[in-house]
Chain A
Amino acid sequence: MPDLAPVHITTRSGDVRVLTEEGIELSVEGGTVEQHDDGTIHVRRAPSASRIEVRCAPGTDVTVGTMSGKIELLGNLGAVRVATASGKIRVVEAASIDVRTKSGKIDIGTCSGECRIMTKSAGVHVGSAARATVAAISGVVLLDQVGGAEVKTVSGKVLLSLAPSAGPVSVHTVSGKVEVRVPAATRPTTRLRSISGRIQCDCPPGEDGEIAVASVSGAIRVSSD
């Protein structure tokens, strides 16, 4: 299989949509295309267009830089990087993900590697990830079927469901409530600490992975499916 040229898409505003298609090299609507010396393909929104649509081969690395507008990355991509200020972000499937935004909504389907999300107030949903690193000031962080996680929020609530045989989990909040669900019959090692929040653990102790949760005033609950 030939090397896939990474695609960089930039537009100050307007929607961005990326789809994958077997056998296709690259197809762009609403944008200008330029190949740089390092092999990367740069797509910029054409002045007359209101959105960019890119079709590329599955597994392509895609980087998107915008200020606003909806970003939809559909299909099965390689390394995905998104930096924007606001707007809805949807990534269906990628090998690794780095998303940075101030606000909006972040919806990740499946990430087979590291899924890193940095936001101020966006709501976050991850369907599944080998490992998730999430930092948020506020906004709900919902992580399903993650194989390990490191989460930091100030006031955002954290709801986390672990995949079977998950690796270490570390959650820190200041005032956000934390709920961790582990697969049935899992006996994790837990380190739960809250200065003024209620702590509840319904799982028997064991050595099936480590769960560390610390909060200043948020309640903590660890339970099994």
Chain B
Amino acid sequence: MAEHGAIVFTDIVGFTALTDTHGDDVALALLERQEEMVRAARPLTARVVKELGDGLLLWFDDPRDAIDTCLRLQRDFDAVNEAADSGPLGAIADVGNVPLWVRMGVHWGCPRRRGDDIVGRDVNLAARIVDLAGPGEVLCSEATAEVIGERAGVGFEPLGPVFVRGLTEPVPIVRVLSAAGEGCGDRTDGRVRGTASR
């Protein structure tokens, strides 16, 4: 039976290029670090659906948990990268001092289950949303932002309707900001708004 939930894709930025220039061991170490941090951050109501080539597919029962977890993970990834920057050279030799830049895409939808896997248009859309994100960013569909509504500590910046591969109609996309991010709660167009207070 289909049920609603938040579909999240994570993706290591530049993974193919990194594997090419730094080798398979560094690539493997980056994947393992990403997965370890994601598994540590996810709430009990979330699960890792499957590992992908350079990212993860996650399922959250609650979209608010999904957004909170994504924002927290980005702060955790920042902290790891900053520690590597300020520590002694070679301090994170397992990943060859290569930064772990992760981007995330979220969509609230109703995919079909196939064993432990999830499939369908909503999964495809979440995968396309992550393609638009930059390192350290969390993007979501406007549908996700509307389901969440006002939420302390979270802001939404509309990026407008976007055409994505494989879908006929443009999809409104939103950039998710934590309270610390500039422009939280700004609303220049679109219907989505958020709050900047924590």
Are B163's CB and A65's CB within 8 A? yes
**CB of B48 within 8 A of chain A?**
no
State which of B17, B81, B159 has its C-beta within 8 Å of the C-beta of A83: B159
The distance from the CB of B62 to the nearest CB of chain A, in whole angstroms, is 27
Task: How many A-B residue pairs have C-beta atoms within 8 angstroms? Tell me.
Answer: 101
A1-26 CB mask vs B (1 if < 8 Å, else 0) is 00000101011100000000000000
A192-225 CB mask vs B (1 if < 8 Å, else 0) is 0101000000000000000010101100000000
**CB of B161 within 8 A of chain A?**
yes
A102: chain B residues at CB < 8 Å are 131
**CB of B165 within 8 A of chain A?**
yes
In the assembled complex, the Cα of A38 lies from the Cα of B192 at a distance in Å of 11
Taking CB atoms and an 8 Å cut-off, the chain B residues in 99-143 that contact chain A are: 99, 101, 131-135, 137
**CB of B23 within 8 A of chain A?**
no
B161: chain A residues at CB < 8 Å are 8, 10, 42, 63, 65
The distance from the CB of A112 to the nearest CB of chain B, in whole angstroms, is 15
State which of B85, B99, B165, B175 has its C-beta within 8 Å of the C-beta of A174: B99
Known contacts A10-B170, A81-B160: A40-B14 contact under CB 8 Å: no
Known contacts A81-B159, A152-B101, A214-B85: A118-B188 contact under CB 8 Å: no
In the assembled complex, the Cα of A85 lies from the Cα of B170 at a distance in Å of 13
Q: Chain B: how many interface residues by the 8 Å CB criterion? A: 35
Are A65's CB and B165's CB within 8 A? no
A138: chain B residues at CB < 8 Å are 17
Taking CB atoms and an 8 Å cut-off, the chain A residues in 125-145 that contact chain B are: 135, 137-138
In the assembled complex, the Cα of A196 lies from the Cα of B103 at a distance in Å of 27
Taking CB atoms and an 8 Å cut-off, the chain B residues in 129-178 that contact chain A are: 131-135, 137, 159-163, 165, 170, 173, 175
**CB of A155 within 8 A of chain B?**
yes
**CB of B90 within 8 A of chain A?**
yes
The distance from the CB of B26 to the nearest CB of chain A, in whole angstroms, is 10
The residue in chain A whose Cβ has the minimal distance to the Cβ of B157 is A98
Are B163's CB and A67's CB within 8 A? yes
A154: chain B residues at CB < 8 Å are 13-14, 17-18, 21
Dominant SS among interface residues on chain A: strand
Taking CB atoms and an 8 Å cut-off, the chain A residues in 32-69 that contact chain B are: 38-40, 42, 61, 63-67
**CB of A100 within 8 A of chain B?**
yes
B98: chain A residues at CB < 8 Å are 174, 216
**CB of A190 within 8 A of chain B?**
no
Known contacts A66-B163, A83-B159: A155-B21 contact under CB 8 Å: yes
Are B132's CB and A118's CB within 8 A? yes
In the assembled complex, the Cα of A98 lies from the Cα of B191 at a distance in Å of 19
What are 25 A-B contacts with C-beta separation under 8 Å? A8-B189, A38-B189, A38-B191, A39-B189, A61-B188, A61-B189, A65-B160, A65-B163, A65-B170, A79-B189, A83-B159, A98-B159, A100-B132, A116-B134, A135-B134, A137-B17, A138-B17, A152-B99, A152-B134, A155-B14, A155-B17, A174-B22, A174-B99, A193-B89, A217-B21
Binding site for A on B (CB under 8 A): 13-14, 17-18, 21-22, 81, 85, 89-90, 96-99, 101, 131-135, 137, 159-163, 165, 170, 173, 175, 182, 188-191
Other A-B pairs beyond A38-B190, A98-B175, 10, CB < 8 Å: A12-B163, A40-B189, A64-B160, A67-B163, A81-B159, A84-B163, A154-B17, A174-B99, A175-B21, A217-B21
